[in-house]
Structure formats: C-alpha cells, structure tokens
Chains A and B, each alone.
Chain A
Amino acid sequence: GDSVTQMEGPVTLSEEAFLTINCTYTATGYPSLFWYVQYPGEGLQLLLKATKADDKGSNKGFEATYRKETTSFHLEKGSVQVSDSAVYFCALSGAGGTSYGKLTFGQGTILTVHP
C-alpha cells in the first residue's frame, strides 16, 4: 500500500537558518503530494501541494518539488522564523485502486525555531 516516510525529528534551528525536511513516498501511479502544518493549538492546514512530476509547490517562503525519479517531496525554506515553529506533515493522495483520493500521512516532524 501507499506509505510516506519523513525525516526523524524534532528539528531545532536558530532564526534565519535554512530548513530542509525530507519526505519520501511509495505509491502506485501518480499521486498528488502535500505538506500540511499544525501550529500549536490549531488544526491541520495545507501549506503547499504538487499534483504532477516536476511541479513545485510554494507558500509563505516554503517550497517543495515533486521528484518522481527519487519519489521525494522535500520541504525547504531559506530563512526560518520563530513563527514557523510547528509540526509539519508530508502526505500523499493516492492515484490508484482503493487508495484513490485518500490521504496517507507521514509521522510528522516537530520544528522549533529559536530567536
């Protein structure tokens, strides 16, 4: 079945540091890929998405590129802020069979940014 693997956390950075959170997936066909973010005390919200190979999703300074050849969707930001402290989830929406349209999530990565 479909699966998503995120880098082990937590991640602790200083403000203005570069961020990378690795995400790889296993799925049949061409799934859509998402990054969701959960700020403290809030619900999950979509950060960015990509629906086909080589697409780049971007939002709030975050970027991720859909790499079919490496089955990856790594999240990056050039300069993090304290307000980026949150839990980040990589997810895919299945493209085949019984997994069609269903979200499969990674385990989440806790990011803490210090001033």
Chain B
Amino acid sequence: EAGVAQSPRYKIIEKRQSVAFWCNPISGHATLYWYQQILGQGPKLLIQFQNNGVVDDSQLPKDRFSAERLKGVDSTLKIQPAKLEDSAVYLCASSFGFATYNEQFFGPGTRLTVL
C-alpha cells in the first residue's frame, strides 16, 4: 500500500516570496491534515479536511496561508508572502476518518527554509 506522498522534500526561498506544497493521501482516506513542525517542537495542526470540505482551520494564519483539497483527494498548501518564522517542516497526514481512535499516517514532510 502506497503511503502519503509529499513534494517537494526541500524548499529554500527568500522572505516575501510565495511557495506551495503538494500532498497525495493514502487511497480511500477521507480525512487529510496539514501540520507545521518547528525545529525542536511537536507538530501543530494547521488545517483538517474531510473529503473536500474544511473541518477546522482555526490554527491557520489565513492572512498568508491557504489550502485546498480539490475533488477530495490531493491537497496543496500555499504560503504568500513567506516570513522568516515560517521556516519549518510541513507534514501532511491522512486517515480513514476522524474518529478519536483513527490512526493518522504521515508523509515524509517538506522542509522549508525562509531566508
């Protein structure tokens, strides 16, 4: 079974530039998550989708971050314009549903460096 795919794996940009990350979840998983993991910390949830609808985006800085999940499969996360503090690993995860006991499966992440 193929895992969660993410691209690119690494990205270096200058502040005020824009960047986009792509995620392809495990086939059949209806729930998709984007997390931000700053060095030395645990992942923090940015946004959660159920199929192609947003369940929770309360932690997403909406003035610069946006995300979409077209057709309930792939998803993209965009940052525009980037700030220095956005340097982090961006993780995508998926699960069959969003019940408390459901396991989330994580992709390898995209490491973003903002200079």
Q: Which residues of A contact B98 (CB under 8 A)?
A: 100-102
Q: Which residues of B contact A43 (CB under 8 A)?
A: 3-4, 91, 106-109
Please determine whether B100 and A51 come into contact, CB atoms closer than 8 angstroms. yes
Best-surrounded residue of B31, B58, B100, B105 (most CB of chain A within 10 A): B100
Our pick among B43, B97, B100, B103 for the contact of A94 (Cβ within 8 Å) is B100
With contacts A31-B100, A32-B101, A93-B100 taken as known, whether A108 is within 8 angstroms of B41 at the C-beta atoms is: yes
Asked if A86 is an interface residue, CB under 8 A from chain B, the answer is no
Q: Give the Cβ gap from A64 to chain B, nearest Cβ, in Å.
A: 15
Give the number of chain B interface residues (Cβ < 8 Å). Answer: 28
Q: Give the Cβ gap from B84 to chain A, nearest Cβ, in Å.
A: 21
Q: Please report the number of residue pairs spanning A and B whose Cβ atoms sit closer than 8 angstroms.
A: 64
Closest B residue to A91 by CB, please name it: B42
B56-85 at interface with A (beta carbon < 8 Å): 56, 58
A97-115 interface bits toward B, Cβ cutoff 8 Å, 1 = contact, 0 = none: 0101111111110000000
Asked if B2 is an interface residue, CB under 8 A from chain A, the answer is no
Q: Which residues of A contact B33 (CB under 8 A)?
A: 103
Asked if B114 is an interface residue, CB under 8 A from chain A, the answer is no
Our pick among A51, A98, A108 for the contact of B58 (Cβ within 8 Å) is A98
Asked if A44 is an interface residue, CB under 8 A from chain B, the answer is yes
Please determine whether B43 and A44 come into contact, CB atoms closer than 8 angstroms. yes
Asked if A45 is an interface residue, CB under 8 A from chain B, the answer is yes
Please determine whether A95 and B100 come into contact, CB atoms closer than 8 angstroms. yes
Q: Give the Cβ gap from A16 to chain B, nearest Cβ, in Å.
A: 29
Interface residues of chain A, those whose CB is within 8 Å of chain B, are: 4, 30-32, 34, 36, 42-46, 49, 51, 89, 91, 93-95, 98, 100-108
Interface residues of chain B, those whose CB is within 8 Å of chain A, are: 3-4, 31, 33, 40-45, 48, 56, 58, 91, 93, 97-109
Please, could you name 20 A-B residue pairs with CB atoms under 8 Å apart, sorted by A? Answer: A4-B42, A30-B100, A36-B106, A42-B108, A43-B4, A43-B91, A43-B108, A44-B106, A46-B103, A49-B101, A49-B103, A89-B43, A100-B100, A101-B31, A103-B33, A103-B104, A105-B42, A106-B42, A107-B40, A108-B40
